[in-house]
């Protein structure tokens, strides 16, 4: 299982393998803490899960049609770009569907390594004037890792998602009350 100290997730071998095998990935931010849920699904077919799948995805969901691995204790921050919204007490959610077919996620999953320390960085309302005119918000999610390489610290990052949506519950970064 992942190791964690004071909101610091360090990826294990099993975490990395599950990230690469996951069919969907959800990202969450609540009260300053991030979580990732890695999901393996059968898409409705009857499935006998292999021992390896059961170990990598220990939680059973949706009447046995999905298996999940939850990564918790991830440092997670929100940056607000301007007066268009507030991030005080905001919550965040984003999902990568069909993760094997999303090049941004495939690149991220194939790049992470055992021992990487994960951080989620959310950006709220990175808006151009056209977004403001129609009342939309341009929100973003990045995943960063800190890695030790030959005694030196490296920071790597990947853009996971950008979403331009109205100010409602479908937003990636949802201010309190939305």
pLDDT in tens, 163-172: 877 777 778 8
Separation of alpha carbons 140 and 162, rounded Å: 4
Residues 33, 71: contact at Cβ < 8 Å? no
What distance in Å separates the CA atoms of residue 171 and residue 156, rounded to the nearest whole number? 26
As a whole number, mean pLDDT of residues 90-119 equals: 93
Which of 47-51, 86-90, 114-118 bottoms out in mean pLDDT, i.e. has the lowest? 86-90
Q: What tokens does 163 get?
A: 């979403």
Going by C-alpha positions, the residue among 64, 63, 73, 65 that lies closest to residue 15 is 73
Gap between the Cα atoms of 30 and 122, Å rounded: 12
**Portion of the chain with pLDDT greater than 90, in percent:** 52
pLDDT in tens, 4-51: 445 688 999 999 999 999 999 999 999 889 999 999 987 766 778 889
| Residue pair 163/94 in contact by the 8 Å Cβ criterion | yes
Answer whether residue 178 shows pLDDT above 70: no
Give CA–CA dist 167/86, Å, rounded.
11
Answer yes or no: is pLDDT of 94 > 50: yes
**pLDDT category of residue 1 using cuts at 50, 70 and 90:** very low
- Residues found in the chain: 178
pLDDT of residue 147: 95
Whether 145 and 175 have beta carbons less than 8 Å apart is answered as no
- Provide the token pair at 44: 């409705």
Q: Could you tell me if 128 and 138 are in contact, meaning their C-beta atoms sit under 8 angstroms apart?
A: yes
As a whole number of angstroms, the distance between CA 26 and CA 38 comes to 7
> How confident is the model at residue 6, as a pLDDT?
58
């Amino acid at each position: 299982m992942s190791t964690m100290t004071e909101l610091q997730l360090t990826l294990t071998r099993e975490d990395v393998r599950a990230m690469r095998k996951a069919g969907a990935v959800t990202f969450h931010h609540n009260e300053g803490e991030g979580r990732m849920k890695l999901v393996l699904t059968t898409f409705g077919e009857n499935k006998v899960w292999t021992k390896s799948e059961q170990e990598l995805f220990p939680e059973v969901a949706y009447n046995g049609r999905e298996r999940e691995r939850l990564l918790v204790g991830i440092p997670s921050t929100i940056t607000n770009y301007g007066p268009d919204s507030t991030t005080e007490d905001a919550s965040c959610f984003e999902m990568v569907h069909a993760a094997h077919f999303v090049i941004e996620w495939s690149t991220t999953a194939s790049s992470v390594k055992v021992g990487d320390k994960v951080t989620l960085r959310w950006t709220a309302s990175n808006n151009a004037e056209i977004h403001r005119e129609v009342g939309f918000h341009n929100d973003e999610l990045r995943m960063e890792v800190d890695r030790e390489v030959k005694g030196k610290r490296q920071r790597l990052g990947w853009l996971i998602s950008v979403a331009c949506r109205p100010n409602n519950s479908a937003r990636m970064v949802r201010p309190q009350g939305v």
